[in-house]
A and B are shown apart, each in its own frame.
Chain A
Amino acid sequence: MRLRVKSWGSDPLFHFLLFGFVLYFGKTLYSVLMTSPEESPIVIEHEFKNVLKESFASKNGRLPSTDELTIEIQQHIKEEVLYREALHHRLDVGDEFVRRRLIKKMEFLIDGMAEPSQPTRQELEQYYYDNRTQFTLPKRFSFFHVYFQDYQSTSDNNRAERARLNEVSVPQNVPDRYHRIAGDPFLHGYYFQDVTRNEIQKYFGSLFWSKLASLEGENLWHGPIESGYGDHFVRLLRTSNPELDFESMEPTVYAEWKKVKKEKQIENIVARMMKKYSITIKQ
């Protein structure tokens, strides 16, 4: 499980309160589970009466009379009894809602416990070199395409079309996106510069992308490549796989380093917890 950094998860006050709650709740739970329900006393603290008063006031627009407060307290006690009975009968077990809330709480707690120390510059740089592939930009493609709405794909046709296209002069430098070399009009244009996988999938669909990605040989006409719209001949101008030096991306490397470290710490904490359990996975 991957735990994610929450901004309020790092608020010390929050941890303090949460810890307090866990201690309190843990104690209550412990005493409830370890004793029969009759043995654990229900105590209504004086402060809690104020909470009940406030709650009454919010409903009725005035403070409760003594009798009314007694009714509220009795009602609360009844509910507390039911709540404890529910815990005693372990009705919280298997309740997905309760389970998710408790898991979230533990995640918050663990998240706050994991706090990696500051790395040295060497450490960071080493991390950068060890993980070079992560710090490259995605591959970008620049290409022309010629679109045919109704194309008869035969090897003869294709060869002839490619030969014909090879004769056509293609603007280099920064061509106009809407400069059509041949074929049918295509709404998104004909020249695409430095586009990524996402963009190609958006304009041409996944089918086209998977074929384009496997093309080799720049400045040659390939195809036809099928898309949801018809057939395309493609002339790949260039592909680029930009890589950046350490200096220009130190903040990114640090962010990533910290994230990975933190994830590892969290994993360790969870692993330690797991050791307390005997786990059996049946076939």
Chain B
Amino acid sequence: MFWLVYGLLYSSLISAEQCADYNSAKNPYFGDLHVHTSFSMDALTSGTTYDPDDAYEFAKGLLSIPSSSTMTGEQPVRKLIRPLDFAAVTDHAEGLASVNICFTESNIVYHSRYCRSIREPGMSIPDILDGIPAVIPDLVRLSTLDSPLCELLPRMCKKRRIEMWNKIKEAADDHNSPCEFTTFSGYEYTGLPLGNNTHRNVIFKNSVTPKLPIDYIAAKQDYQLWNLLDSQCTNVEKECPGGGEQCSDDEYKCEVITIPHNGNLSGGAFFKTTYSKISLENELWENDRAFELGKQRQRLEPLFEIYQNKGASECMNSQADPLGSQDEMCNFEQYSYDVCEGNENDSPDCMPLCSSLPITAGAFLGACAEPMGFARNALRAGLEDLRKSEEVNQAKRINPIKIGFVGGTDTHNATPGLVREKDYTGQHKIDNSELVDLLVKPAQVNKNLANLPQGTNSPGSLAVVWAKQNTRSELFRALQNKEAYATSGPRIIARFFGGWDFPDDMCQLDNFAEIGYQQGVPMGGDLSVAQDIHAQPEFAVAALMDSGTEQGPGTPLQKIQIIKGWEENGQTYEQVIDVAGSDYNGAGVDLDTCTTYGVESASLCTVWRDTSFNPAQHAFYYARVVENPSCRWHKYQCNAYFLENQLTCDDIEEDSPLNKCCVADDSQHIIQERAWTSPIWYSAP
């Protein structure tokens, strides 16, 4: 309550736009742009009762949400030890009307079969929609929710949707407090063409938005979504009630970005549907349509959610796919496991590459996987597109896939920012019952479409934004400019600049960041053209470990890597370079107690020069800051469970889900938390 008063007070004090912590060299702000509450059908039916208002209270560290788990978490209730600096509630746009109508007893449709069938908590419901088999999980059905209801009762449906959307916007406005805590109105577009995930969070700068969220029912293709957002938001001239000068763009202009997530479950659909690769390609490139689409995409989709509850989407290892990676650090919170390599070592049950199937379908359910859906591999495809567009028309060349990175939790418990491994007791309320529920079905999803793999889920990540101060306009601009990064949970600080001539001793100088801005570009930027053919770009990267909390210190850093992708004769390549710290620092974790040991680097910093740079090749660079090893969430839970029940691994039967606690391969119990900076691009002239 105190903080609410304080927030109100403080915001009333600020007449000029400058906050106390204003910093022209920018501050890092931590947040979560992927949050579901009881306004999302799948959250509501699995028992979440907390609404958008509650989610924002939680983000500010003011609200405790009890966990119904019997697991021995460190905290019996969920509460943020460290408040977030910003958040956006992003409930599913599809089903908003049903959430309202089917859960309001006074509504006449409440008793309809449609409503009754979706009201039952967490169970698989037979044939609520024709043609969609009952075995398909709730989430899949979600993409078409509302549509039968809205066809039948269009006016009621629209009214209820507007009502719900306004409530979401009101909650965001109520909790936005300049200089202290920033909120954005938003929703999730829940696209699922052919069972491939094309979910996107749509984030608005303020409460000037379209009347209704544009959902998958209205826009089946990504460019349709952007066209509608342009026509109902970006291109709308909002009339200023006070006339001319009184209205700043910050309050009266509709601005929007879309942030795709779970590329790992997209089968590449995010980046493939309208550009290059499979369909329409020649026609598209020749008549400038691709150029226009690419420009629109660059403008409206600057970011990608690189890691969340349903796995990481940085990169996918594959030798069979030309865009595949070979980088063991990609094996972090992967949903795609045991992917077929097309050789004799393949197991009979291996997960096929989507491109090896006659039609890419069901990637969301684990039917196939594709490197093209992952950030790094998609960035490479972007370089290929750039080269290809140049061949058609140099004047209209375009790299349509220029994405920076942010994180998010995808919580369905209205618990934004709850990312500590120790705190994880499931992402849906219904998960939070027993440890075994979270551990079951760790693999082999493709054998059973009805069951998503809970054991492979994890807490998700945070978005970090570099901005001069914590206001909507500064944060939103930073998001548009991709001056943002993601951490897998810990509050790692990462600075990343690219330029042509940084001081060699930049890391020893007082003002690393100021030099970075003066003599280079920050993450998300573009390097200027090389001055001569011998020029080599430099990258200044600095990182600080998580500063820790009263509950304990953060984990020290192990290394910083720079990932370079480049294009050469129409093909793309990638390289991972360790630029600071080392794998061989002897750090480790005691799996029985989850205590970490070894060399401790509180900070790492270096200026790295790309000596193999070729000014004629397009390239991108991003940094990955890696912590020393620590326990994965399930190990904390397993240890607590075994201790409480006085069990050892000898007591566990072979077919018990608890066997996951006892896997002999230590690497399955260990993770290396990390931060991924947005890339810096170089486009050859």
Is A85 an interface position by the 8 A CB rule? no
Specify the chain A residue showing the minimal Cβ separation from B556. Answer: A228
B20 touches A51 (CB 8 A): no
B6 touches A8 (CB 8 A): no
Specify the chain B residue showing the minimal Cβ separation from A199. Answer: B21
Is B547 an interface position by the 8 A CB rule? yes
Looking at B9, B104, B108, which has the most chain A CB atoms within 10 Å of its CB? Answer: B9
A17 touches B106 (CB 8 A): yes
Is A198 an interface position by the 8 A CB rule? yes
Is B350 an interface position by the 8 A CB rule? no
Specify the chain B residue showing the minimal Cβ separation from A61. Answer: B130
Is B49 an interface position by the 8 A CB rule? yes
Report the number of A-B residue pairs with Cβ-Cβ less than 8 Å: 154
Question: How far apart are the CA atoms of A198 and B83 in the complex, in Å?
Answer: 8
Within 8 A of A (CB), among B503-529: 507-514
Interface residue SS majority, chain A: helix
B-contact bits for A155-197, CB 8 A (1 contact / 0 none): 0000000000000000000000111100001011110011110
Query: In the complex, what residues of B have CB within 8 A of residue A48's CB?
Result: 111
Stretch touching chain B among A33-41, A115-123, A131-139, A269-277: A131-139
A-contact bits for B594-617, CB 8 A (1 contact / 0 none): 000000001101000000000000
B25 touches A178 (CB 8 A): yes
A228 touches B106 (CB 8 A): no
Question: How far apart are the CA atoms of A110 and B113 in the complex, in Å?
Answer: 31
Is B455 an interface position by the 8 A CB rule? no
Query: In the complex, what residues of B have CB within 8 A of residue A140's CB?
Result: 20
Is B75 an interface position by the 8 A CB rule? no
Is A246 an interface position by the 8 A CB rule? no
Specify the chain A residue showing the minimal Cβ separation from B53. Answer: A4
A58 touches B547 (CB 8 A): no
CB of B558 to closest CB in A, whole Å:
16
Q: A178-B510, A199-B21, A230-B602 are in contact. Are A97 and B544 (CB under 8 A)?
A: no
Query: In the complex, what residues of A have CB within 8 A of residue B658's CB?
Result: none
Within 8 A of A (CB), among B160-197: 163, 167, 170
Specify the chain A residue showing the minimal Cβ separation from B491. Answer: A202
Q: A55-B114, A178-B25, A195-B21 are in contact. Are A227 and B47 (CB under 8 A)?
A: no
Question: How far apart are the CA atoms of A54 and B96 in the complex, in Å?
Answer: 20
Stretch touching chain A among B146-154, B247-255, B310-318: B146-154
Within 8 A of A (CB), among B1-31: 1-2, 5-6, 8-10, 12-13, 20-21, 23, 25, 28, 30
A228 touches B553 (CB 8 A): yes
Query: In the complex, what residues of B have CB within 8 A of residue A210's CB?
Result: 550
Is B112 an interface position by the 8 A CB rule? yes
B-contact bits for A26-60, CB 8 A (1 contact / 0 none): 00000000000000000000001001101111111
Stretch touching chain B among A86-94, A213-221, A251-259: A251-259
Question: How far apart are the CA atoms of A206 and B83 in the complex, in Å?
Answer: 13
Q: A187-B544, A195-B20, A206-B548 are in contact. Are A252 and B12 (CB under 8 A)?
A: yes
Is A101 an interface position by the 8 A CB rule? yes
Within 8 A of A (CB), among B228-273: none
A8 touches B548 (CB 8 A): no
Question: How far apart are the CA atoms of A140 and B28 in the complex, in Å?
Answer: 19
A58 touches B151 (CB 8 A): yes
Question: How far apart are the CA atoms of A100 and B23 in the complex, in Å?
Answer: 46
Query: In the complex, what residues of A have CB within 8 A of residue B151's CB?
Result: 58
B5 touches A229 (CB 8 A): no
Question: How far apart are the CA atoms of A18 and B103 in the complex, in Å?
Answer: 12
A193 touches B603 (CB 8 A): no
B510 touches A179 (CB 8 A): yes
Query: In the complex, what residues of A have CB within 8 A of residue B546's CB?
Result: 228
Is A127 an interface position by the 8 A CB rule? no
A187 touches B545 (CB 8 A): no
A187 touches B542 (CB 8 A): yes
CB of A178 to closest CB in B, whole Å:
4
CB of A100 to closest CB in B, whole Å:
5
Specify the chain A residue showing the minimal Cβ separation from B511. Answer: A178
Query: In the complex, what residues of A have CB within 8 A of residue B553's CB?
Result: 205, 207, 228
Task: Give 6 CB contacts A-B under 8 Å.
Answer: A58-B149, A187-B493, A194-B20, A202-B82, A203-B547, A255-B8
Interface residues of A (CB under 8 A from B): 4, 6-8, 17-18, 20-21, 25, 48, 51-52, 54-60, 79, 96-97, 100-101, 104, 134-135, 137-138, 140, 149, 177-180, 185, 187-190, 193-196, 198-199, 201-208, 210, 227-230, 244, 248-249, 251-252, 255-256, 259
User: Which 9 residue pairs across A and B have the least CB separation, nearest first?
Assistant: A205-B547, A17-B106, A178-B511, A180-B510, A55-B112, A55-B113, A229-B602, A194-B20, A205-B548
Interface residues of B (CB under 8 A from A): 1-2, 5-6, 8-10, 12-13, 20-21, 23, 25, 28, 30, 47, 49, 51, 53-54, 68, 82-83, 104-106, 108-109, 111-114, 116, 121, 130, 148-149, 151-153, 163, 167, 170, 491, 493, 495, 507-514, 542, 544-550, 553-554, 602-603, 605
